Amino acid sequence: MDATPFKLNIKQKASELGFFYCGFSKAEFLEEEASKLESWLNQNYHGKMSYMSNHFDLRLDPRKLVPGAKSVISLLFNYSPKDRQKDPDAPKISKYAYGEDYHFIIKERLFELFDYTKSLIGDIDGRVFVDSAPVMDKVWAQKSGLGWIGKNTNLIHPREGSFFFIAEMIIDVQFEPDGPIKDYCGTCTKCIDECPTDAILEPYLIDGSKCISYLTIELKDEIIPSEFKDKMDNWAFGCDVCQDVCPWNRFSKPSNESRFQNPKLLNLSKKEWEDLSKEFYDELFKKSAVKRTKYAGLKRNLKFIDFGKNSEM
């Protein structure tokens, strides 16, 4: 069936649930992205993120994730913070990890939206995703008209910037697709020029193994490679530099989701970070995405920041 008449209802419900944009695209094989992904993997730009080379076919065709899928519904959820870390000398945490783990918060809304869509249309089959499966979320959001993929490889919305999470519903119902929008990066190269580790090799191409987010989160080695000494820009978990310098983020607005802000974390001083105990870590990051790096990983990152500043170990 053609469920296009229900698009407006679904977009309105998504807005009520806190998603500030919702777009529709046709579920199909991503032919253009296939060669790009293969080349990126062959260059080892994924570093030790072995999962990136797994499920290659699933990444490129949502119909393999959801048999019979006809549509990908992409959604954006704002996380731009109202408040920032208070101590300018404290180790920096990426803004998306200031509060509770977004996976749980957004999944709740996605299931509610899926149930609503089912009540509208009838017996449908599908799955919901938020950065938790081999889904090329930025590509689908771009196809759905929710922005363009910028030179820093992040999705950028012309009225909201890029401080948002991307989620999807992949379902077996057909909708009229929303077309993509233009790329408005123009001649700007701020993200490339300001990347502390030169991870953005050229416009639209990033060496993930050089990215500070990779080094502080994905890399599980006991030691961060010494080549990144003095280049970590005081980041202990993640990195926002290429977004902070992006001119389009002057349009980002503070999120209304209070669970994305943890005042205790934002108020931590540099000294408190240095003295971080396992017990306090467990309490502070109980529901946080920071738990991905574990206590030992975070302490490794903090030690490396000091190593980078002082040029000694």
The residues annotated with a catalytic role in the active site are: 131
Strands 164-171 and 71-78: antiparallel
What angle is formed at CA 155 by the lines to CA 150 and CA 159, rounded to 5 degrees?
95
CB neighbour burial string for 109-124, b if at least 16 within 10 angstroms, e if fewer: bbeebbebbeeebeeb
Q: Is 181 left (phi over 0), alpha (psi -120 to 50) or beta?
A: beta
Contacts of residue 105, Cβ cutoff 8 Å, sequence gap at least 6: 257, 259, 260
What is the DSSP secondary structure assignment for residue 175, as one 8-state letter? -
Identify the three-state secondary structure at position 201.
strand
Identify the three-state secondary structure at position 58.
helix
Is residue 88 within 8 A of residue 273, CB to CB? The reply is no
Is residue 11 within 8 A of residue 146, CB to CB? The reply is no
CA-to-CA dists, residue 95 to 80, 123, 238, 241, 243, angstroms: 7, 39, 9, 11, 10
Query: DSSP H helical segments within the chain, as ranges?
Result: 7-16, 31-42, 56-60, 62-65, 102-121, 137-143, 190-194, 212-213, 241-244, 263-266, 270-274, 278-284, 294-310
Distance, in Å, from the CA atom of 282 to the CA atom of 95, rounded to the nearest integer, reads: 19
Distance, in Å, from the CA atom of 70 to the CA atom of 60, rounded to the nearest integer, reads: 14
The pair phi, psi for residue 164, each rounded to 5°, is -150, 160
